[in-house]
């Protein structure tokens, strides 16, 4: 009887907290059909920091959210976010196989009921991991209806439910975005489609997604190119497509100003998949595009690990390029398989990778509005619910450890000192003249003609890699 009473009181509190502002009929409908709060992950304990000697798979070994480093708790340095699409929507399907993952919240015949159950599961999950942020596409959180009006209505209903949860949750929205790639209408792209009706539809969708992101307090808004690219130039007006993409982004900037959305706009580069040639190939391509169309002051970059490797770059390279151009906004944290040519979106567990990444983030002055969003999914074979929790713990630990190593590397100035010495020839003599603009081809020729010999010094790559390992193994 006591247990039943506790259960009843608990249910009443949950009921009061979660559905406060919905009208009575909606509440009735909602409670009757979709109410599983605190049940999806009931076998999984709240994840706490236990230290490196813990063998508990449900504990952090290196991520202690409250550990203060450089005057700030680790959770504020790392700003972890859960990707709604992978964590709550992925089914493990691939080009060869049907869904292999059945989540308990996907149990209704109505997509809207599933969407509501997913919100409940999501906030339970955020709480279990004590994660400060999540990211979403419009279509992850609410299903499409028969037409755009109905779709927007679905979205509004789920957004008001999420808003209620946000009132009491410690988790906030890092960024929102619009899915402009899954539906067949986007078969030729969205803002770069050959069909102006599709351009208009995509604009309406982004308009709504911006409103929703603002309403949910999102700190950023992301554009990932989706199907903005092409398969063959034999049917493609590349110039018009790129001009249209720029027009679209300018419209987004204007509308954000109009509604007072002051979040950071981000573009997420990716070189291929789904199209053969994605326009936002890599950080340098995107930067060139933004500069050409006078958009660079409104956008920063959301760099994703696996996208960098698909472009033939180290993640470290993409982050460095973004940092030196003051474009490093946020990170989609995952990891690819270097033997595969597609986006595997694995949970990041490679500490060398996280160390070099956090090195760039620290050198950039840390995240401002951005963070580390786990754009990662469990493998098709990892279909148990607990694998989702373990994947995130592994990724959070890997980034926490990487951050700590990188912090020491930066503080000790290990690479800075070496690099400064390596480029010393530009501090004095002819080098100083080159850098200050006092040299030209004629003065340089005169200098070169009088050089008796040129002396180079070793780049010491092996030594530096040895030092990096020493920091990794001793921290």
Q: In the complex, which residues of this chain contact ligand XUL (CB under 6 A)?
A: 137, 177, 222, 224, 268, 270, 304, 332, 343, 375
Asked if residue 332 binds Co ion (CB under 5 A), the reply is yes
| Binding residue for Co ion, selected from 211, 228, 375, 397, defined by CB under 5 A | 375
Task: Report the partner that residue 264 touches, choosing among Co ion, ligand XUL, none (CB closer than 5 to 8 A by kind).
Answer: none
In the complex, the smallest distance separating the C-beta of residue 448 from ligand XUL, rounded to whole angstroms, is 48
In the complex, the smallest distance separating the C-beta of residue 277 from ligand XUL, rounded to whole angstroms, is 15
Nearest residue (CB) to Co ion, 106 versus 332: 332
H helical segments located in 130-236: 138-141, 148-168, 196-215
- Segment interacting with Co ion (CB under 5 A) among 127-135, 182-190, 292-300, 331-339: 331-339
Nearest residue (CB) to ligand XUL, 164 versus 304: 304
Asked if residue 228 binds Co ion (CB under 5 A), the reply is no
In the complex, the smallest distance separating the C-beta of residue 406 from Co ion, rounded to whole angstroms, is 22
Give the alpha-carbon dihedral of 394, 303, 317, 415, to 10 degrees: -60
Residue 368 DSSP label: S
Instruction: Give the SS3 label for residue 37.
Output: coil
Asked if residue 282 binds Co ion (CB under 5 A), the reply is no
Task: Report the partner that residue 270 touches, choosing among ligand XUL, Co ion, none (CB closer than 5 to 8 A by kind).
Answer: ligand XUL
Residue 346 DSSP label: B
Contacts of 68 (CB under 8 A, 6+ apart): 74
Structure tokens at 256: 């954000």
Q: At what angle do helices 385-411 and 414-422 cross, to 10 degrees?
A: 50
CA distance 355 to 361: 10
Beta strand 72-73 with 68-69: parallel, antiparallel or unpaired? Answer: antiparallel
| Binding residue for Co ion, selected from 106, 228, 241, 304, defined by CB under 5 A | 304
Task: Report the partner that residue 177 touches, choosing among ligand XUL, Co ion, none (CB closer than 5 to 8 A by kind).
Answer: ligand XUL
In the complex, the smallest distance separating the C-beta of residue 291 from Co ion, rounded to whole angstroms, is 23
Nearest residue (CB) to ligand XUL, 341 versus 459: 341
| DSSP run (H or E) holding 345 | none
Structure tokens at 285: 């391509």
Among 11, 149, 134, which Cα is nearest to 79's?
A: 134
DSSP per-residue codes, 198-214: HHHHHHHHHHHHHHHHH
In the complex, the smallest distance separating the C-beta of residue 413 from Co ion, rounded to whole angstroms, is 33
* Residue nearest to ligand XUL as judged by C-beta position: 224
In the complex, the smallest distance separating the C-beta of residue 248 from ligand XUL, rounded to whole angstroms, is 15
Are the C-beta atoms of residues 63 and 49 closer than 8 Å to each other? yes
- Segment interacting with Co ion (CB under 5 A) among 96-104, 126-134, 287-295, 369-377: 369-377
> What residues line the site for Co ion (CB under 5 A)?
304, 332, 375
């Amino acid at each position: 009887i006591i247990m039943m009473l506790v259960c009843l009181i608990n249910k009443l509190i949950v009921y009061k907290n979660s559905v406060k502002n919905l009208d009575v009929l909606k509440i009735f409908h909602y409670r009757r059909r979709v109410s599983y709060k605190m049940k999806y992950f009931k076998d999984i304990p709240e994840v706490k920091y236990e230290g490196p000697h813990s063998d508990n798979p449900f504990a952090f070994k290196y991520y202690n959210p409250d550990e203060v480093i450089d005057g700030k708790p680790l959770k504020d340095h790392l700003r972890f976010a859960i990707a709604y699409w992978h964590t709550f929507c992925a089914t493990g399907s691939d080009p060869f196989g049907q869904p292999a993952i059945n989540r308990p919240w996907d149990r209704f015949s109505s997509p809207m009921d599933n969407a509501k159950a997913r919100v409940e599961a999501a906030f339970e999950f955020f709480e279990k991991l004590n994660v400060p942020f999540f990211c979403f596409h419009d279509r992850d959180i609410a299903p499409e209806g028969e037409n755009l009006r109905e779709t927007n209505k679905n979205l509004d209903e789920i957004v008001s439910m999420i808003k209620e949860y946000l009132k009491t949750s410690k988790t906030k929205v890092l960024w929102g975005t619009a899915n402009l790639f899954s539906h067949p209408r986007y078969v030729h792209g969205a803002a770069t489609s050959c069909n102006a009706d599709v351009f208009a539809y995509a604009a309406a969708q982004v308009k709504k997604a911006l409103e929703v992101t603002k309403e949910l307090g999102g700190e950023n808004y992301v554009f990932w190119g989706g199907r903005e690219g092409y398969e063959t130039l034999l049917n493609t007006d590349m110039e018009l497509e790129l001009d249209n993409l720029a027009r679209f982004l300018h419209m987004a900037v204007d509308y954000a100003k109009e509604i007072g959305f002051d979040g950071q706009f981000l573009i997420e580069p990716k070189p291929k998949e789904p199209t053969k040639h994605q326009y936002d190939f890599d950080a340098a391509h995107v930067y060139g595009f933004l500069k050409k169309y006078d958009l660079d002051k409104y956008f920063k970059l959301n760099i994703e690990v696996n996208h960098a490797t698909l472009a033939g770059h180290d993640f470290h390279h993409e982050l460095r390029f973004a940092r030196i151009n003051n474009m490093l906004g946020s990170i989609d944290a995952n990891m690819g398989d270097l033997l595969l040519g597609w986006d595997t979106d694995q949970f990041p567990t490679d500490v060398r990778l996280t160390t070099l990444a956090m090195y760039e983030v620290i050198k950039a002055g840390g995240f401002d509005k951005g963070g580390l969003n786990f754009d990662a999914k469990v493998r098709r074979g990892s279909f148990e619910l607990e694998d989702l929790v373990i994947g995130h713990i592994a990724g959070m630990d890997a980034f926490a450890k990487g951050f700590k190593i990188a912090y020491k590397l930066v503080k000790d100035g290990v690479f800075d000192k070496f690099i400064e010495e390596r480029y010393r020839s530009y501090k004095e003599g002819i080098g100083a003249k080159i850098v200050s603009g006092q040299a030209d081809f004629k003065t340089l020729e005169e200098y070169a003609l009088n050089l008796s010999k040129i002396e180079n010094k070793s780049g010491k790559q092996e030594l530096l890699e040895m030092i990096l390992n020493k920091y990794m193994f001793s921290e």
